[in-house]
């Protein structure tokens, strides 16, 4: 039998992008397609989001006169719904930029997979890591969604207790009747599953672009290594100037790519962090004031979302530091004056790192997540003290 030709890194990248496009297409937001237009699927997702808002308003109006904590009941999952709405609108607003970055990554794979074995191996490693990240996130979303949906069912079977998946009711169906209870839970379960898939599909592009931003330093190291080898062979070789220019251009591309990511995900990241924080806080208050079995799983999911984004932001901060250190490590003293000036300019630019930010105010990092966690803890402790008085 003839041996199968191994897949090129660019082919694997195209397959990963295709999976992301299929997930996005199911939601009507395949923004990386050339002929993308708002369609019936997009409209359905928008209607579903607004339908949940209407049910939330109905629930508040029904119970607010006798129980003010219904505001917490509704607000906790609504923060997740708001996050999905912002991600959807952001994708529609920056559709051309989404496509541009996807094309640029494809061109990088096409260019560097033919530049030698070291470059090809590094791209293969990129593919492997990207698959692992996307699968891990998908499994996390799936498991948490299933636990949230199944918790009320398990409690009903084992203890006969009636709990809603989400604290939100459908108009016209009384939760105290058997039929109304299952209709409400069916609606809530559908909302959870759609939300989990929608948020996952939205996060796929974010992780695709920001993770590749981290990978860019690998190519930078290989370029610098090639430069040093050339300097050792002949410090006066005319090709050195071209190699220095190529390194400078790659660093410029990295900075521009991060700037585009900051623009592309400005609202997405800001809404994600704000909504997740409010979701954690409101869910903790629900646990303290009333009974919602799904709250424990939901708060775990919120913390997972919070730190998932912030860990990625910290990795980008680390990558910026690596670029800065990598520029310092270049043997500039072996270069002529013209190339030394180019390295100096690149070093000056690296002193102003392009970190990913939250609303342009705080850096997206683990330290910011810890600040948020401490703030939530302080608020909860304050509420507990008031409750015990």
Domain assignment of residue 346, yes or no: yes
Domain assignment of residue 374, yes or no: yes
d(CA 253, CA 259): 10
Give yes or no for a contact between 312 and 209, defined as CB atoms under 8 angstroms apart: no
For residue 180, give the nearest of 188, 190, 170 by alpha carbon. 170
pTM of the prediction? 0.85
Domain assignment of residue 45, yes or no: yes
Domain assignment of residue 61, yes or no: yes
For residue 248, give the nearest of 154, 347, 366, 143 by alpha carbon. 347
Q: Please give the full DSSP string across 283-327, using - where no structure is assigned.
A: HHHHHHHS--THHHHHHHHHHHHHHHHHHHHHHHHHHHHHHHHHH
Query: In Å, how far from its chain's centre is CA 224?
Result: 31
Give yes or no for a contact between 45 and 28, defined as CB atoms under 8 angstroms apart: yes
Domain assignment of residue 294, yes or no: yes
Give yes or no for a contact between 207 and 19, defined as CB atoms under 8 angstroms apart: no
Domain assignment of residue 3, yes or no: no
**Total number of domains constituting the chain:** 1
Domain assignment of residue 2, yes or no: no
d(CA 13, CA 308): 23
Tokens standing for residue 220: 């930078």
Tell me the residue range of the domain where 248 lies: 9-388
Domain assignment of residue 203, yes or no: yes
Q: Tell me the pLDDT of the chain (389 aa) as tens digits.
A: 445 566 788 899 999 999 888 888 888 888 888 888 888 888 888 888 888 888 878 877 877 777 676 676 677 677 777 888 888 888 888 888 999 999 999 999 999 988 888 988 899 989 999 889 888 888 888 888 888 888 888 877 887 777 777 777 787 787 778 788 888 888 888 888 888 888 888 888 888 898 888 889 999 999 989 888 888 888 777 888 888 899 999 999 999 999 899 888 888 888 888 888 888 888 887 777 766 666 777 788 888 888 888 888 898 888 888 888 888 888 887 888 888 888 888 888 888 777 888 887 888 889 999 998 898 888 888 877 776 65
């Amino acid at each position: 039998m003839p041996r199968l030709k191994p897949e090129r890194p660019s082919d694997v990248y195209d397959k990963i992008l295709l999976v992301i496009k299929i997930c996005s297409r199911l939601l009507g937001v395949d923004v990386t397609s050339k002929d993308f237009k708002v369609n019936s699927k997009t409209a359905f997702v928008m209607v579903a989001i607004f339908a949940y808002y209407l049910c939330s308003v109905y629930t508040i109006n029904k119970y607010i006169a006798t129980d003010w904590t219904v505001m917490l009941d509704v607000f906790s999952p609504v923060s997740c719904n708001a996050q999905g709405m912002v991600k959807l609108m952001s994708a529609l607003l920056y559709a051309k930029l989404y496509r541009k970055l996807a094309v640029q990554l494809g061109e990088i794979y096409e260019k560097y997979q033919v530049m030698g074995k070291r470059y090809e191996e590094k791209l293969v490693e990129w593919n492997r890591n990207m698959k692992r990240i996307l699968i891990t996130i998908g499994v996390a979303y799936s498991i948490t969604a299933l636990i949230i949906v199944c918790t009320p069912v398990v409690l009903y079977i084992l203890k006969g207790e009636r709990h809603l998946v989400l604290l939100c009711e459908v108009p016209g169906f009384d939760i105290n009747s058997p039929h109304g209870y299952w209709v409400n839970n069916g609606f809530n379960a559908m909302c959870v599953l759609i939300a989990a898939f929608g948020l996952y599909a939205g996060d796929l592009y974010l992780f695709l672009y920001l993770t590749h931003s981290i990978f860019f330093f690998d190519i930078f190291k290989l370029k610098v290594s090639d430069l040093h080898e050339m300097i050792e062979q002949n410090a006066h070789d005319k090709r050195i100037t071209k190699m220095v220019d190529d390194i400078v251009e790659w660093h410029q591309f990295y900075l521009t790519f991060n700037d585009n990511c900051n623009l592309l995900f400005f609202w997405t990241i800001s809404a994600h962090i704000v909504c997740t924080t409010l979701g954690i806080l409101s869910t903790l208050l629900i646990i303290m004031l009333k009974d919602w079995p799904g709250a424990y799983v939901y708060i775990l999911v919120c913390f997972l979302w919070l730190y998932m984004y912030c860990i990625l932001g910290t990795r980008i901060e680390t990558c910026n530091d690596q670029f800065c250190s990598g520029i310092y490590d270049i043997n500039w003293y072996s270069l002529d004056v013209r190339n030394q000036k180019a390295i100096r300019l690149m070093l000056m630019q690296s002193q102003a790192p392009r970190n990913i930010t939250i609303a342009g105010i705080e850096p997206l990092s683990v330290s910011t997540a810890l600040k948020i966690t401490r703030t939530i803890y302080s608020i909860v402790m304050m509420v507990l003290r008031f409750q015990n008085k």
